[in-house]
Amino acid sequence: MEPSPQAQADLIRAAVDEGADWIILQPPLGPAITPTNWLNMLPPLIENAGVPVAIQNADMANVQLHNDDLVALQRGCPALIGVKAETDSASVAAFATNHGKAFRVIIGNWGVEYPFFRSHGAHALIPAPNFVAEQVAQDEAATRGDWDQMDDIQQRILPLMQFIRERSAPEGQVQLGKAAYGWRTGYDTGHNRAPGPATIDTSVLAHARGLWDRLATRP
């Protein structure tokens, strides 16, 4: 997310020095750059990373790359081995179907559409912190071809997941997500980070807790 090539390179070096086996490069959130700027920035970063590289391709950064751009980028940079794919659903599914042998296609965005993407050839998911156990079970179900169980788990987690996602991003989502994480783990998650709101609306909190209790007691 660093805005300059040098800062990105420094971040890569720090990750590798800490033992990273591979890295995901994320485009800068600011100052604004174009997809062309991002494509020009990537090759030297990938070539000099020293470890395999994936890149985030997401709508939120406003520098989303076309699937053909990703294929061409890998052709010139063989160390590019994966994409964290978070653009529109049809584009992600098409990329996984058509290029899943050349790329590791990793899903983010909380995994809200993971069963759909996995059925089209996506390989993995970066799990949402509140749903790691369920999403690992989903991945195991998909690996053995048990799509009914994968869909059953998705139906269990979606109510709470979507309720958290509907809070203001990112602060409201972080705040309610932390509360739900505390319910699951028993950890005291403390106060919210500045400059976010200090408290959660009591009706929102009560509804989320009800959704969590239902999730926690279902087999």
Domains and CATH numbers, the chain: 1-126 (3.20.20.70), 133-219 (no CATH)
Residue 207's CB is within 10 A of a number of other CB atoms, namely 14
Output 5 or 125, whichever has higher pLDDT. Answer: 125
**Contacts of 6 by beta carbon, 8 Å cutoff, 6+ apart:** none
Q: According to the model, what pLDDT value does residue 198 have?
A: 77
Q: According to the model, what pLDDT value does residue 197 have?
A: 74
Mean pLDDT to the nearest integer, 99-106: 97
Mean pLDDT to the nearest integer, 122-132: 94
Residue among 178, 182, 160 at smallest CA distance from 170: 178
Residue 52 has pLDDT above 90, yes or no: yes
| Tens-digit pLDDT profile for residues 175-192 | 999 999 999 999 888 877
With a pLDDT cut of 90, the percent of the chain lying above it is 79
Query: CA angle 92-98-100, nearest 5°?
Result: 80
Q: According to the model, what pLDDT value does residue 60 have?
A: 74
Report which residue type is found at 191: H
**Calpha distance 12→24 (Å, rounded):** 9
Residue among 160, 166, 161 at smallest CA distance from 207: 160
Average confidence score pLDDT of the chain: 92
Q: Structure tokens of 174?
A: 């972080």
Where helices occur in the chain by DSSP H, the ranges are 5-17, 35-47, 67-76, 89-99, 114-119, 132-143, 147-165, 171-185, 202-217
Where helices occur in 54-170 by DSSP H, the ranges are 67-76, 89-99, 114-119, 132-143, 147-165
The three-state secondary structure class of 149 is helix
| Tens-digit pLDDT profile for residues 14-37 | 999 999 999 999 988 777 788 999
Output 59 or 196, whichever has higher pLDDT. Answer: 59
Mean pLDDT to the nearest integer, 102-108: 96
Q: According to the model, what pLDDT value does residue 170 have?
A: 82
Query: CA angle 135-176-131, nearest 5°?
Result: 10
Q: According to the model, what pLDDT value does residue 83 have?
A: 98
Residue 137 has pLDDT above 70, yes or no: yes
Q: According to the model, what pLDDT value does residue 191 have?
A: 79
pTM: 0.88
What residue has token string 């660093």? Answer: 2
Report which residue type is found at 82: G
Q: According to the model, what pLDDT value does residue 61 have?
A: 67
